[in-house]
Amino acid sequence: MRLKSTFFKMLFLLTGIFITAQNSILLVSSATGAKKILRLNSSDGSVINANFIDMTAQNPGTVKGIAQVNDRIWVTDQTGDKIYIYDLSGAYVSTISSGLDNLRGINVVNNEVWVTNAGSANGATANSIVRFSMTGTLLGTYPAPNTSIFDVLDNNNGTVYVSGLDTNGIQKINYSGVSQGNLVPSGVFQNLQQINFTSNGNIIAAVFQNNSTSGNNAGVYVISSANGSILNYYPVSSGNLRGVIQADNGNILYTTGSALFSINTATGVQTQLVTGQFQYLTKATLPNLSVNDVQKDFAKIFPNPATDFIMIQSDNLLQQIHIFASDGRLVRKQAVNNETKYRLNISDLSTGNYYLQIESQSKMMRHQFIKK
């Protein structure tokens, strides 16, 4: 019995340490009835959690861009003219809803948050970059270097790349919003959406449409960050491109209105990973189960093992419960309305070992349980 107890304690610690170091890719789904954020494996783009953030309660329109901003996740709503903010567990925090219209890409730039804004409704400045502090305070706007911009990308060395609609190419500005000319001149591409860096510092771009004049068709382009030349091109056969990012294994992930795909850059072979109406992607560090900040137990959990339900009792007001599988996947997230006693239904879980994360207003604890 003592040996078994020691084994489970070591399993908990090792699993917690592993998850603390885990990186992810977050993917925006804008499909009707499925407005959500998927969590992907940063290594290859495989799905870890298809419902990491359920955005239904925010009643969004076309959700588009996404970025990790310190310990928050910011998501733009293109047609709802809002920015939704969540914590790293996926819980809703707040909304920025004024002075915005027709939002697209969002990124951290020089310790600020820059958002591409195309429209002029709601008091917004048309064709502008809206700037926020990392805590959400409005700092002002910069005029966009071209019309109908779609994304901003910081090279962390004083230059920001800006993509846009029509045939405007990729423009460059500095951290003060002053134009530095273009990386890719106008007329080369038709409707650039998301842009991102490759592991060697070049740029990958999601090109939405064919350009009949230049002959550059829709697809994923690898562009030299030194001179803007086209280094590689991957055509697509299904849908218009929106999002693009490189996975840790070197493959390129891209999204369309019908699916998420992976390109093997060594062979050019493309694989569909998951169907859906998808938009932009971002890399994020999500320390779901850090062992370091676990506090002493402040709640009783019984029975354990359990078959259908678990009772949770505490002197503290409970606010949120997470259930994680033994491999770190978030299985369930349950809001609790400041109760001291809660009955948690686990009847739908498969048999096996799980970890329960319980949060009150000021404390957090974790406990292993077994589903029979």
Whole-number pLDDT of residue 287: 62
**pLDDT 10s digits, 82-94:** 999 999 888 899 9
Check whether 16 has a pLDDT greater than 60. Answer: no
- The answer to whether residues 105 and 76 touch, using CB atoms and an 8 Å cutoff, is yes
For all residues of the chain together, what is the average pLDDT?
89
Whole-number pLDDT of residue 23: 83
With bands split at pLDDT 50, 70 and 90, how would you rate the model's confidence at 328?
low
**pLDDT 10s digits, 271-313:** 999 999 999 999 998 865 443 344 457 889 999 999 999 999 9
Q: Which residues of 131-165 are buried (b: 16+ CB within 10 A; e: fewer)?
A: bbeeebeeeebbebbbebbbbbbbeeeeebbbbbb
Give the integer Cα–Cα distance in Å for 268 and 274. Answer: 19
Q: Is the pTM of this model over 0.85?
A: no
Q: For 133-136, which contacts have Cβ atoms below 8 Å and span 24 or more sequence positions? A: 134/69, 134/70, 134/108, 136/85, 136/94, 136/96
Percent of the chain with pLDDT over 90: 68
**Ordered domains of the chain (ranges, CATH):** 2-15+290-371 (2.60.40.3080), 23-285 (2.130.10.10)
The average pLDDT across 34-43 equals 94
**pLDDT 10s digits, 54-77:** 999 999 999 999 999 998 999 999
Check whether 3 has a pLDDT greater than 50. Answer: no
Whole-number pLDDT of residue 367: 82
Most confident range, picked from 45-49, 142-146, 290-294: 142-146
Q: Which residue has the higher pLDDT, 360 or 252?
A: 252
Of 23, 22, 25, 21, which Cα lies nearest the Cα of 253?
25
**pLDDT 10s digits, 175-206:** 999 999 999 999 999 899 999 999 999 999 99
Check whether 1 has a pLDDT greater than 50. Answer: no
Single-letter amino acid code for the residue at 139: L
Check whether 329 has a pLDDT greater than 80. Answer: no
Going by their DSSP bridges, the two strands 230-235 and 160-164 should be labelled as unpaired
Check whether 10 has a pLDDT greater than 70. Answer: no
- The answer to whether residues 255 and 332 touch, using CB atoms and an 8 Å cutoff, is no
Single-letter amino acid code for the residue at 132: F
Check whether 342 has a pLDDT greater than 80. Answer: yes
Q: What angle do CA 308, 89, 298 make, to 5 degrees?
A: 60
